[in-house]
């Protein structure tokens, strides 16, 4: 990691964690489907987070269906509002960004296109870890409103099928973990 980026990165992560502790959003909705409930509350949570962060931070709340939910000081973050059940955390663009540090021009791709993009010699690969250019998860427990974690995609050391990413155990879905491991192999071979 670049020495110049470290203070900005650390300051950003600490500020996000502190801001999340002050957020008091009720996750009760008329929706019986947890995905719909989360979608309804995501915008409210992100708007509240934006106002709770320092004014000098650069904060971009993404449009619906973008590859990240919010970008804070250039750190792309996926907000997961969850009860701890099954959560989908897979995102091809996020995987490419984490490996390369560059946002791909093409956002909608199949797996063959993903692998072709990563294997292409013109595709840059990071030689050292730069957490500022990794995809992060902000996981919030809908039952308590408590922030569970803020790990980056490469900070997840174990896997479990259909598991929520969580700071204490670090699991992610086995499909995502397999792809992350395969991308690490591609990175090491290039």
What is the average pLDDT across 132-158? 72
Q: What is the pLDDT of residue 159?
A: 39
The pTM (predicted TM-score) of the whole model is: 0.72
Distance from C-alpha of 95 to C-alpha of 36, rounded to nearest angstrom:
25
Distance from C-alpha of 119 to C-alpha of 14, rounded to nearest angstrom:
35
Rg of the chain (C-alpha set) = 17
> What pLDDT, in 10s, does the model give residues 93-137?
988 888 888 888 888 888 888 888 888 877 788 888 888 888 888
Give the CB-side neighbour count of residue 138, counting CA atoms within 13 A.
26
Distance from C-alpha of 69 to C-alpha of 76, rounded to nearest angstrom:
7
Q: Six-digit token pair at 59?
A: 């904060």
Inter-CA distances, 151 with 40, 138, 186, Å: 24, 7, 22
**Beta 75-82 vs 59-61: how paired, if at all?**
unpaired
Domain boundaries, the chain: 5-189
The whole-angstrom distance between residue 156's C-alpha and the CA centroid of its chain comes to 11
Q: What is the pLDDT of residue 155?
A: 61
Q: What is the pLDDT of residue 89?
A: 72
Specify the higher pLDDT residue, 122 or 3.
122
> What pLDDT, in 10s, does the model give residues 31-88?
566 667 777 788 889 999 999 999 999 999 999 889 999 999 999 999 988 877 666 7
């Amino acid at each position: 990691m670049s020495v110049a980026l470290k203070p900005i990165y650390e300051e950003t992560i600490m500020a996000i964690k502190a801001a999340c502790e002050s957020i008091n959003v009720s996750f009760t909705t008329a929706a019986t489907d947890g995905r719909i409930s989360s979608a309804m509350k995501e915008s409210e949570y992100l708007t509240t987070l934006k106002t709770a962060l320092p004014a000098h931070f650069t904060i971009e709340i993404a449009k619906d269906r973008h590859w990240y939910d919010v970008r804070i000081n250039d750190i792309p973050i996926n907000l997961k509002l969850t009860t701890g059940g099954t959560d989908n955390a897979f995102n091809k663009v996020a995987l490419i960004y984490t490996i390369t540090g560059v946002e791909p021009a093409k956002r909608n791709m199949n797996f063959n296109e993903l692998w072709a993009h990563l294997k292409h010699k013109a595709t840059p690969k990071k030689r050292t870890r730069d957490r500022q250019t990794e995809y992060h998860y902000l996981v919030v427990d809908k039952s308590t409103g408590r922030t569970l974690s803020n790990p980056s995609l490469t900070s997840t050391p174990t896997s479990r099928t259909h598991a929520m990413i969580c700071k204490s155990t670090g699991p992610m879905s086995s499909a995502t973990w397999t792809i992350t491991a395969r991308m690490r192999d591609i990175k090491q071979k290039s």
